[in-house]
Amino acid sequence: LVWTSFLGASIAFENRENVGVEFFTNKLPIKARKKLIIIMDMLSLVFFLFVIFYGMKFALQGWKVVSPATSIKMFFPYLGIPMGSLFCFVQILFNLIQNFYNE
């Protein structure tokens, strides 16, 4: 479920279809809107860097834990957090680069 959620979020970031409040941003002039989008993308990159870092620490702790139901190490399900965050990070980075070149 974690893997699927993060893959869906990554696709949403790629297409810029993630949940947002466009009511306010659409009222801004185009230049201000583009600057705001760049700032939001940069903040998202910082957020996902933290999630990647701490998610990896969390996943590594799962190497010591075995699921009683499936008898697999919890590292593999927990790995979905940093990997999914990495996918989102890459998509946002591509969007940010694209925004710089489209200006």
With a CB cutoff of 8 Å and minimum separation 6, the contacts of 84 are 2, 3, 5, 6, 7, 9, 10
Distance separating alpha carbons of residues 79 and 52, to the nearest angstrom: 10
> Running along the chain, 103 residues long, what does each successive block of 10 average in pLDDT?
82 76 81 89 95 96 92 92 94 90 74
What is the model's pLDDT at position 64? Answer: 92
Q: What share of the chain is helix, strand, coil (3-state, %, to 5)?
A: 75, 0, 20
What is the model's pLDDT at position 65? Answer: 92
Domain ranges of the chain: 2-14+35-102
H or E segment at 50? Answer: helix 30-61
Distance separating alpha carbons of residues 99 and 21, to the nearest angstrom: 19
What is the model's pLDDT at position 103? Answer: 64
